[in-house]
């Protein structure tokens, strides 16, 4: 089975070649043997072996992205932009809410800006992890509720979108007279 995903803003194709006795994953010309090692740590933590080398880390899912931290590196795995746009088109989401408490690190848009689904709108930091939040649909930035360098609670409304203005129709022509 083949998977298309976004890894640190790069499109990546992975193919699962086998699941038993170990997971074999092909990426490009490379084949890797992956096995999960039992872990006694809390939720989100894991231990795996890739090609016989052990790794420990943790993972946290937010929407269509999974943040994986191994050692000092954080990997962001999610849907590629094309899939993300198709997934959110017509969804009608008008607001961007925080899935966890944190701080706005940077705004990548401004009120009145036209955005497409998948465009990065804001970077937040939560639990020492920086996350880029994207537009859930095409629209115009209506309100930025939390400015840069401001803390927010879980569920906080960060940005509101409004619908794109419909193109103006040409004036109707009268017939006769």
What structural domains and CATH numbers belong to the chain? 2-78 (3.30.700.30), 81-162 (2.40.50.100)
The whole-number average pLDDT for the span 56-65 is 76
Q: What is the pLDDT of residue 167?
A: 59
The two three-digit tokens of residue 82, written as one number? 């094309």
Q: What is the pLDDT of residue 89?
A: 41
Handedness of CA 99, 101, 105, 108 (dihedral sign): positive
Q: Are 67 and 129 in contact (CB under 8 A)?
A: yes
Q: What is the pLDDT of residue 44?
A: 74
What count of other Cβ atoms lies within 10 Å of the Cβ of residue 135?
24
CA dihedral 99, 154, 137, 163 (to 10 degrees): 170
The whole-number average pLDDT for the span 24-46 is 80
Indicate the pLDDT class of residue 84, thresholds 50, 70 and 90.
Answer: very low
Most confident segment among 17-21, 53-57, 58-62, 173-177: 53-57
36 compared with 122, residue with greater pLDDT: 122
Indicate the pLDDT class of residue 133, thresholds 50, 70 and 90.
Answer: confident
Q: What is the pLDDT of residue 148?
A: 93
Q: What is the pLDDT of residue 79?
A: 53
Tell me what the pLDDT averaged over the chain comes to.
78
Q: What is the pLDDT of residue 73?
A: 82
**Residue 41 DSSP one-character state:** S
């Amino acid at each position: 089975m083949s998977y298309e995903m976004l890894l640190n803003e790069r499109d990546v194709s992975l193919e699962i070649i086998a699941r038993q006795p170990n997971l074999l994953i092909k990426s490009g010309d490379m084949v890797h043997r992956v096995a999960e090692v039992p872990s006694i740590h809390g939720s989100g933590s894991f231990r795996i072996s890739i090609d016989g080398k052990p790794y420990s880390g943790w993972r946290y899912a937010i929407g269509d992205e999974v943040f994986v931290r191994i050692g000092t590196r954080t990997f962001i795995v999610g849907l590629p932009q094309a899939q993300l746009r198709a997934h959110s088109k017509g969804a009608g989401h008008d607001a961007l809410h925080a899935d966890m408490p944190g701080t706005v690190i940077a705004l990548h848009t401004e009120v009145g800006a036209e955005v497409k689904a998948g465009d990065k709108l804001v970077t937040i930091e939560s639990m020492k992890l920086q996350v880029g939040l994207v537009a859930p649909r095409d629209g115009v930035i209506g309100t930025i509720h939390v400015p840069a360098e401001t803390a927010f609670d879980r569920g906080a409304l960060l940005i509101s979108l409004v619908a794109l203005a419909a193109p103006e129709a040409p004036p109707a022509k009268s017939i006769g007279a």
